Structure 1
Amino acid sequence: MARVEVVMPKMGESITEGTVVAWLKQPGERVEADEPLLEIGTDKVDTEVPSPASGVLQEILVPEGETVAVGTVLAVIETEAEAAPEAAPTTPAPEAAAAEAPEAPPAQTTPSPEAGEGEIVEVVMPKMGESITEGTVVAWLKQPGERVEADEPLLEIGTDKVDTEVPSPASGVLQEILVPEGETVAVGTVLARIATGAPAATTPREAPTAPTRAPQPTPEPAAPPQPTPSGDGAPATARAPIPRRGPDGRFYSPLVRSIAEKEGLTLEELASIPGSGRGGRVTKRDVLQYLEQRRQRVQQPAARPAEPRPAAPPRPPAPERPAAPPPTPQVAAGTYEGRVEIIEMDRMRQLIAEHMVRSKHTSPHVTSFAEVDVTNLVRVRERNKERFEQREGVRLTYLPFFVQAVVEALKEHPWLNASVEGTRIIVKKDYHIGLAVALGRTGLVVPVIRNAGQKNLVGLAHAIADLVHRARNKQLQPDELQGGTFTITNVGSLGSLMGTPIINQPQVAILATGAIKKRPVVIEHPELGDVIAIRHMMYLSLSYDHRIIDGAMAASFLRKVTEVLESIDPAMEL
C-alpha cells in the first residue's frame, strides 16, 4: 500500500493558482490511473485533472470552490500494488506537461495501461520556423474518442503569419486534448495524446456531451428576456464581482465569472442560465450560448420594444439623450435593424487589418500607373501553354513573366528593393518576391519566392504553382511568408483593371498587375505610319514609400517593366 498525492498542476507560465471547480470522485471511491478525478479552473480555462495512479481516493484536502496555489496537495490516493509508487513521481509531470513542453516526455508511458493494446503517442506544438517560438491552437479537427489516421489533419495552429493544419503523427484513437482552442503555447508543448492500436476506448468521455445537449431547451433561455430590460441599467449592477456561488448554491468557476463580468451579466442573469455541467453547473459554453441568444433577441425583436417607448417612463430619458430619438424612428419605420448581421472578425482578418493600418501609418503612400501592350506575351502563352503543362505538370500563367520583368527592373532601381530603418535605407541584394494569394473570402497571404533572380521562367512557374497551392491548402510554413523584398499582387486575375495596393511592410513598394483587355490602340507601323489595331493592353499600378522613392524613380521603374514585357519575342518557345 502506498499514498499518492494529487497536487494542483501548473497550467501555464502566468498561472500561479487554480480553483477546485468540482470533484468527480468522492472519498472511498475507486479511481483508475488517468481517469478524470477533478475539475479545476482559472480565469482562462476550465479543465479536468486525471488521477496520477490507480487506487482508492482516501481523502479530499481542498473542497470545491477553494482557490489554492500551484503545487498544493489536493487529495490523497491509496494505491494497492507495489508498482504504484513508481507512478507517483511520474504522474505529476504529465499534469504540468499539459502546459509545459520540457516535462512532456514522461507522459508518453504513463497512460499506456489505459490504452491496453498500444502505446501513447504525444502530439507536440511543432517548430514552424527559425523565428517562431510559440503557436495558438486555432481549432481541433478531431475530438477525444475519435479515430485518427497517420498524417490525417488533426488540428489547426496559427502564428502571427499563417494558420496551418498539423497532421497526426500516428494512427489510433485521440485519447485526450491537453491544450484547448484559443490557447497559445510554446514550441514543444504537448497538445494531445493518441492511443495507438486501441479501439474507441475513450469514447465514454463523450458521454457527458449527451446531457449537455439535452439541457439546452429553447423555452428556458427565452425566459431571461425579463432581465434583459434591466440590461439597460445593468452595467451599474454588473460591475459588482460575481460571487463564487449563486443564490441557488451553484458554484461558478473563475472562467465563467470572468466572462460574466466582462459581458456585464448580473448575478440574476447568471443564475437564470440552465447549466449543462455536473450537478447543473454553468459552463463556459452555457454562458456563451446565452450571450449569443441575447444578442439575437436584441437584434430581431428590437422593433417591438420601440412601441412601449412612447409610454410615460421612457419619455423622460428621451429629452436628456438627444441621440436616442434618431434610432427610434428607424426601428419603428421598417425592418432595417432586424436585417443587420454582426460578424466578428476572425483571427486572419484581424491580423490583416492590423498590418494594413500599420503600413498606412508607417509609409506615405503614392501610386503611379503605366499602360502596357502585352500582345506578344499573350501570343507566347497561348502558343505554349498546353505543351508546357503536359511537360512540366503546372499551368503556364502570366505571373512568371511579371516576376521576371520586376526582377530586371529592380536590378536597375535597387532602392525599390529596400527597407527603411529610421534614417537608414537598407538595400537588399537578393530578390525575394512576394505574391499576394487570395484565400477565397477569408483573406490573403503573401508567400515569398526566394532568390527569384536566379530562376528562369520554368523555375518561376513551378515556384509560383507550389506556393499558391500550399497557401490555399494551409500548408505554408511561417518562414515562407517572411523576408520578402518586393511584392506583386495580381488584381487582374479577379477582373480589376487596376488597383492602389498597400505596401507590405517593411518593404517600400508593391506592384499591382491589372486585367488584360483587348482594345483599339494607335500604333506606329513602319510602312503605313499611325494605324489603329486591336491589341492586348493592361495597366500596372506601383504604390511606393515616398520617404525614399520619388515620382521620377517610380516612373523609371515602371518604364523598365513595360519595356521588358513589350519586348518579349512572339516566337519564343517554352
Structure 2
Amino acid sequence: MPKLGLTMTEGLIVEWMVKPGDVVQSGQTLFVVETDKISNEIEAPSAGTILRLLIEEGGTAAVGAPVAMWTGPAQGQSGPVQPESVDTSALIPVTTVVEAIPPSAKSQRPLCTPFARRLAQQAGIDLATINGSGARGRIRACDIQATVERSAAPALQPVGKGRTPQRERDLRSLIAARVSRSKAEVPHFYLSAGVRSDALAALRGELNTDPRSPRKLSITAFLGLAVGKALLLHPEANVVWRDDRAQPLEDGIAVGIAVEAPGGVMAPVVPIGSGLYDFAASLDAAIDRARRGRMGATDNGAAAIGISNVGMFNVHSLTPIIDPDQSFMLGVGAPRTVFRADENNLPVAAQEMTLNLACDHRAIDGAAAARFLATIVEMIERPVRLLLPVV
C-alpha cells in the first residue's frame, strides 16, 4: 500500500484491475486505492505476473502493508515477494456490511465494485441497467459517472435517512477519522474579517464578459490566487507542522480547494502558477477530477492552506477545520449587502464577505497569522493586485 499523503496511514482498495495469473507490464494499472482525500490508480513499477491478491475489493490495508503477491520486484527488494516473507501484521481485516439478499437473487446480482455500488445508490441508478466495463462485466465507478453524465442527472445526493452503506470502512469513515484527529491534535485558533467584495465582483464581471477572455473565472479562482499571493508575501505562513517543528514548504506555493464530490468532500491541491488564468485552468481541471473521482498523486501535493467556500449556498459564515496536512483553512461566506460609511461619513451600500481563518498554533502565532489574513483581505479589496507581479 503506497503512501499518498503526509498523514495517510491506510488506504481502501475500491477496485482491482487485475486478477491472479495476469501478466502485467510496467505502467499498467493494478488497482484503485481510495483515501479520505483522493482516489488514485496505482501502476505496476515493472513487468511481472500477479500470483495472489491479499486484500479484496472493499478491504483496507495500512501504508506499507502488502496487498498482493507477484513475480516482479517489491519495494526495496530486487526479486519477487515470497509467501513466507509476507508480514501480515499490518493488514487490517475486511469488515464489509453483508446485505440480506436471498440466495436466488445473489446469482442475478450485477458484479460491481463497492465504490461503484455506493455511487449508484447515491445517484438512484439501477445497476441492472448498466453494462460494466471491468473484468467479466464488473461495473466500475467510471461506468456510474458516465451514466450520470449521459442522462444529465443532477449532482449526486448524500446518503439519506434509512440508507445503509455498503461497507463500514468507506470514505465517510476515513473522513471522520481524519477530521477527528485534526480537532484532537491540532490546537486551532480562529481569526475573522469582513472583506469588501465590490471591486472583485466588478473585475470578475468585466473579465468574464470580455470576448478576449480565454475562460470564465470563478470567485474561487480569485480567492485562491489572493491566498497564494499572500503566502508569497508572508513566507513564514507557508509552513506545515512536521516532526515537532514548523517546516517550510520549499516546492512552490499551492492552495487546497474543498470540492463537493460523490461520497464526500475532496480537497485537491492546486499550484498557483504564473497568473490568474493559469491558476484558473489548473483549478477547473482539479475540480473536475475531484467530482469524477479521478484525483491522482498530482492533486495531493503539499500546501499550507486550504479554502472552503460555501458562498454558493447563501451561507454567510463558515468556521472550518484544518486539514491535518496543512496549517490553515480559510472559510468563505456568501457576499451580502451591508451599509458602511463613505469618505463623508454617509452610509453607502456595499458587498461584504466574511472570512474565517482557522490556524494551527503550533506552526504560527496570532500576530503573524493576523498579518497574513490582512494581506488576503487587501488582495480581495484591491483585486487589480492579483493581475500584477508580487513585489
Q: TM above 0.5, one fold?
A: yes
Aligned equivalents of 1:464 and 1:398: distance in 2? 11
Q: 1:458 aligns with which of 277, 293, 296?
A: 277
Q: 2:254 aligns with which of 432, 440, 447?
A: 432
Deviation track 1:293-331 (CA, whole Å, cap 9, x = no partner) reads xxxxxxxxxxxxxxxxxxxxxxxxxxxxxxxxxxxxxxx
Aligned equivalents of 1:566 and 1:134: distance in 2? 42
Deviation track 1:379-416 (CA, whole Å, cap 9, x = no partner) reads 1111221436x742x43111222122212322333332
Are the structure 2 counterparts of residues 189 and 491 from structure 1 closer, same or farther at C-alpha, using a change threshold of 3 Å? farther
Deviation track 1:144-175 (CA, whole Å, cap 9, x = no partner) reads xxxxxxxxxx99722334225799xxxxxxxx
Q: Which residue of 1 aligns with 2:338?
A: 520
Are the structure 2 counterparts of residues 188 and 495 from structure 1 closer, same or farther at C-alpha, using a change threshold of 3 Å? farther
1:433 touches 1:448 (CA, 8 Å); kept in 2? yes
Q: 2:366 aligns with which of 520, 535, 551?
A: 551
Shift of 1:523: 3.1
The one-letter code sitting in structure 2 at the alignment partner of 1:384 is L
The one-letter code sitting in structure 2 at the alignment partner of 1:370 is A
Are the structure 2 counterparts of residues 531 and 414 from structure 1 closer, same or farther at C-alpha, using a change threshold of 3 Å? same
1:417 touches 1:428 (CA, 8 Å); kept in 2? yes
Q: Which residue of 1 aligns with 2:57?
A: 181
Aligned equivalents of 2:373 and 2:279: distance in 1? 21
* Pair member with larger Rg: 1
1:512 touches 1:541 (CA, 8 Å); kept in 2? yes
Shift of 1:355: 0.9
Aligned equivalents of 1:130 and 1:488: distance in 2? 18
Aligned equivalents of 1:438 and 1:427: distance in 2? 29
Q: Which residue of 2 aligns with 1:503?
A: 322
Unaligned runs of 5+ in 1: 1-124, 144-153, 168-176, 191-257, 264-272, 278-284, 286-338
Report the secondary structure of 2:324's partner residue.
Answer: coil
TM-score, normalised relative to structure 2? 0.60
Q: Is 1:384 aligned with 2:207? A: yes
Q: 1:369 aligns with which of 188, 192, 209?
A: 192
Aligned equivalents of 1:412 and 1:447: distance in 2? 23
Q: Which residue of 2 aligns with 1:157?
A: 32
TM-score, normalised relative to structure 1? 0.42
2:58 touches 2:94 (CA, 8 Å); kept in 1? no
Aligned equivalents of 1:472 and 1:563: distance in 2? 31
Shift of 1:464: 0.5
Q: Which residue of 1 aligns with 2:144?
A: none
Aligned equivalents of 1:408 and 1:463: distance in 2? 16
Are the structure 2 counterparts of residues 475 and 548 from structure 1 closer, same or farther at C-alpha, using a change threshold of 3 Å? closer
Shift of 1:448: 0.9
The one-letter code sitting in structure 2 at the alignment partner of 1:138 is V
Report the secondary structure of 2:302's partner residue.
Answer: coil
Shift of 1:188: 8.9
Aligned equivalents of 1:568 and 1:463: distance in 2? 20
Shift of 1:562: 1.0
Aligned equivalents of 1:136 and 1:405: distance in 2? 35
Deviation track 1:344-369 (CA, whole Å, cap 9, x = no partner) reads 65621111111101111221111111
Q: 1:553-568 to 2 correspondence within 5 Å? A: 553-568=368-383
Q: 1:102-117 to 2 correspondence within 5 Å? A: none
Q: Which residue of 2 aligns with 1:407?
A: 228
Give the length in aligned residue pairs: 282
Larger RCO, structures 1/2 (Cα 8 Å, 6+ apart):
2
Aligned equivalents of 1:187 and 1:259: distance in 2? 15
Aligned equivalents of 1:495 and 1:141: distance in 2? 42
Aligned equivalents of 1:377 and 1:274: distance in 2? 59
Shift of 1:446: 1.1
Shift of 1:370: 0.3
Deviation track 1:225-268 (CA, whole Å, cap 9, x = no partner) reads xxxxxxxxxxxxxxxxxxxxxxxxxxxxxxxxx999x99xxxxx
Identity %: 27
Shift of 1:465: 0.4
Deviation track 1:404-440 (CA, whole Å, cap 9, x = no partner) reads 2212322333332212235422122421211111115
The one-letter code sitting in structure 2 at the alignment partner of 1:460 is F
Are the structure 2 counterparts of residues 482 and 355 from structure 1 closer, same or farther at C-alpha, using a change threshold of 3 Å? farther
Q: Is 1:477 aligned with 2:353? A: no
Q: Which residue of 1 aligns with 2:78?
A: none
Q: Which residue of 1 aligns with 2:118?
A: none
RMSD: 4.2
